[in-house]
Structure 1
Amino acid sequence: MTKCKYSLCRMVFLFLLISSALSLRAQHLEKGIDSLIVKDFNDPNGPGGVFMVSRKGNPIYQKAVGKANLELGDNLSPENVFELGSMTKQFTAVAILMLEQAGKLKVEDPVLKYIPDYPNGEKITIHHLLTHTSGIKDFTKMKALADIAQKEMTPKMMVDFFKNEPADFAPGEKFEYNNSGYVLLGYLIEIISGMRYEDFIKNQIFDKVGMSRSYYASDRKVINKRAYGYHKKESGYVNKTMISFSVPFSSGSLMSTTGDMLKWQKALNGHLLLDAKETNKAFSKYKLNNGTEYTYGYGWHIRDINGTPTREHGGSIFGFKTMAVYIPGEDIYVIGLSNCDCNSPTRLVGEIAGFVLKGVKEKRW
């Protein structure tokens, strides 16, 4: 009986010791990340940001700073829905790969196969569009963009807007980030699938992954826990400039939460949407015509933190800036969503990822 009690006490002591150590590790992690965030996001009464870190699919840090709506004074929370901007591109890229997996296209296909009148369409491939190597004029750099920014455009109208512009370079000659290529990919998704891009993303991706708080953006829909976007002027904060989301379309018109984006990352890891072969295409580096390698796959930048490989992408759209970094070797996902385009989380998310990675390698948490 005494021996049994002794064993029980020892087990309780060990449990308390382990719990205390885990608590101290969590506190150290939280304190370290907080100290990074406060340098850039330090106005509790202005728009701010929501940040999340996950390890092995589970959140280990979440923080919301600032207001979701300045007029109402609502605080930001991890449940808030943000416009993603160019993080939309990874969903567009995966949609293309899903169609390839279903045998409906090949990334080597020329654009001409699906749009017979597209200029130079016999030389521009889907691969060129995915990797920003097509040479097509980026519509965001066209002066005439202001004329259509608030108009309701069909995908064909958007493609017609830029398709006859002189090319910046021959396909495959150069890597140059390009929104037009991803608008064209969205149009191809509609042509090949027979579905609106918006419906394809919702039915084939959001619903399958369980991303119930993710949407094709709208300023008219009532979206629960929407984070409102802001600019900062000399006089103070102002509401974001209104645009038609049919203009950025498949290059930048999706909305989501940090929690839903974690579901997305887990779905990619678990091959819920793509098999290993197609997934590998998204996260590979490719080469230009002259053999030079560039650090972009299909919808993601393929980079590293001090030699440790990462998959990264950010986004920027009126009133919002976003960034996410995934470290596949350690299954670390870091995401930051900001509701003021005055405050980009890009550098900060990279710093957080580096801090967490260092701690994991040193076995500090």
Structure 2
Amino acid sequence: MRALLAAALILIAPCSALADPGLSPDLAAKVDTAVTEALAASGTPAASIAVVRDGRVVYAHAYGQARRDPDVAATTAQRFAIGSVSKQFTVAAILLLAEEGKLSLDDTVGKWIPDLTDGDRITVRQILSHTAGYRDFWPQDYVPAFMEKPITADGIFDRWARVPLDFQPGEAWQYSNTGFTIAARIVEKTAGQPFFTFLTSRVLKPLGLDAADIDASPLGPHDAAGYTRYALGQPRPAPKEAPGWLMGAAQLALTPQDLARWDIAMMEGRLLKPESWRTMQTSVRLNNGQDARYGLGLTVTPDGSFRMVRHGGEVSGFLAENRVWPDLGAAVVVLVNSDYGDPASIAQKITALMPLSTQPTAVETAAASTFLAGLAKGHADAGHLTPDGAAYFTPAVVADYAASLGPLGPLTALKPLSRRLRGGFTEEIYLAAFGQKSLRVVARASEGKYEQFMAYPD
């Protein structure tokens, strides 16, 4: 066993790294060690990761073998199946159509698909939040024999959505791939085109994402291959689900950077309207008022004092973990090419290695210091304000800043505390010292101009 582990450590040497100055060599080395040790422990052939901080990809790295016999080294250019992480893309497609007035989250599914059980009561919102009651067609952690045969959406509906519900709509939360097959079919009926065609043209391409449709065919030789194992046996090529089973529920394969770019779009509020993103990331409540801790295609989890949305993914031969802290501009993506690895554990180890929030840069701190000192003297530099910010600083507001801060004496220190994304702006928080008086400063900026600059008693 020790010899096998030693061999595995050789096989999973880091390759294809992309580092940004935002991630120090020491921190990158610690991340590499955490991932390689995890792969060695599980026997997973490969992992591919991306780390986002301050709304940008600061590290992308691949480890191990994307394919075996013959061995092909993993690179960050290869796509891995992301399993149920695909569900949030399906939600985005639905929300785009809702924004256009072509459907509503509160439409009943029966409006679009006939003869579904309780289709006149169950809503689109409920199928996207796993609260509809439709039985999951894939509760197994392997590919049953029936899933090796192609199926249509109606074939899935006949067996799992035109039978008695597992519970009454809204009474419980229970994971159901069936609901997302229904959602994909609703997109097709509303848009008048195949689901993946709509998803590509309206969601993926506008964000520059190059996704593979693994429901149509397996990944090719330039992407990763999936592996499974039986007990503690050697990794073996994983059987593939037949066409039709993954539509809308687990259909996509992406590079880690592309999934990270999706996360950044979520942080910045691109593609969808702000209200749509909020709806997607807001946990639904059951009929009894209980928090389901799940929004639309996303698990909603408090992570200390920060809000985290996440989702795991599994299809035959692949596992994925995608964690996003929208308000902090941070994300961790982990993709592995085995269905027995543990990407969630790897993501947790990566997260533990780095602070989620950062501090304002020296340039940002200097700019804030200059602006605050100017306010104390009765001057708000319009050249450093957005139109909204300039409108806020009326003569009366500036006069109050000068009258209350000026007598305190000069600004003697401005200590940077934290920096994160919020609502499309960079939020900078400082502790300011005017002599013996301390003030907390909260600034929100975009491209070097302040949308907000406010001082409060500390």
Q: Does TM-score exceed 0.5, indicating one fold?
A: yes
Unaligned 5+ segments in structure 1 are 1-21
Which protein is bigger by CA-based radius of gyration?
2
Q: Does 1:232 align with 2:229?
A: yes
Which structure is higher in RCO with an 8 Å CA cutoff and minimum separation 6?
1
1:342 corresponds to which of 340, 343, 352: 340
Q: Does 1:320 align with 2:310?
A: no
2:44·2:337 contact (CA, 8 Å) conserved in 1?
no
Q: Does 1:284 align with 2:282?
A: yes
TM-superposed CA distance for 1:266, in Å, is: 2.5
Distance (Å, rounded) in 2 between the aligned partners of 1:331 and 1:83: 24
Note the 1:219-258 alignment, pairs <5 A. 220=217, 223=220, 225-233=222-230, 234-258=232-256
Distance (Å, rounded) in 1 between the aligned partners of 2:41 and 2:336: 13
Q: TM-score, normalised by structure 2?
A: 0.69
Distance (Å, rounded) in 2 between the aligned partners of 1:219 and 1:176: 27
1:265 is matched with which residue?
Answer: 263
TM-superposed CA distance for 1:220, in Å, is: 4.4
Note the 1:78-89 alignment, pairs <5 A. 78-89=76-87
What is the identity percentage for the equivalent residue pairs of Structure 1 and Structure 2? 25
2:22·2:58 contact (CA, 8 Å) conserved in 1?
no
Q: Deviations over 1:165-195 (max 9, x none)?
A: 3211100001111111111111111111111
24-33 vs 166-175, which moves further? 24-33
TM-superposed CA distance for 1:122, in Å, is: 1.3
Structure 2 counterpart of 1:36, one-letter code: A
1:90/1:335 CA distance change after superposition, 3 Å: same
1:235/1:41 CA distance change after superposition, 3 Å: closer
TM-superposed CA distance for 1:43, in Å, is: 7.5
Q: Deviations over 1:22-68 (max 9, x none)?
A: 97960232133233223312389961201110112322222211101
1:125 is matched with which residue?
Answer: 123
Q: TM-score, normalised by structure 1?
A: 0.86
Distance (Å, rounded) in 1 between the aligned partners of 2:177 and 2:44: 30
120-129 vs 353-362, which moves further? 353-362
1:46/1:267 CA distance change after superposition, 3 Å: closer
1:46·1:70 contact (CA, 8 Å) conserved in 2?
no
Note the 1:1-365 alignment, pairs <5 A. 26-42=24-40, 47-141=45-139, 146=144, 148-212=146-210, 214-217=211-214, 220=217, 223=220, 225-233=222-230, 234-357=232-355, 360=358
SS in 2 for 1:186: helix
Distance (Å, rounded) in 1 between the aligned partners of 2:200 and 2:213: 8
274-283 vs 232-241, which moves further? 232-241
Q: Deviations over 1:182-239 (max 9, x none)?
A: 1111111111111111111111111111113x12115746746210000123441110
Structure 2 counterpart of 1:231, one-letter code: T
Structure 2 counterpart of 1:42, one-letter code: A
1:42·1:65 contact (CA, 8 Å) conserved in 2?
no
Structure 2 counterpart of 1:207, one-letter code: K
Unaligned 5+ segments in structure 2 are 1-19, 360-416, 420-458
Distance (Å, rounded) in 1 between the aligned partners of 2:205 and 2:344: 28
Structure 1 counterpart of 2:306, one-letter code: T
TM-superposed CA distance for 1:157, in Å, is: 2.1
1:243/1:355 CA distance change after superposition, 3 Å: same
Distance (Å, rounded) in 2 between the aligned partners of 1:227 and 1:126: 34
1:156·1:187 contact (CA, 8 Å) conserved in 2?
no
1:92·1:186 contact (CA, 8 Å) conserved in 2?
yes
More strand, by proportion: 2
Structure 2 counterpart of 1:225, one-letter code: H
CA RMSD of aligned residues (A): 2.6
SS in 1 for 2:271: coil
SS in 2 for 1:183: helix
Distance (Å, rounded) in 1 between the aligned partners of 2:219 and 2:317: 18
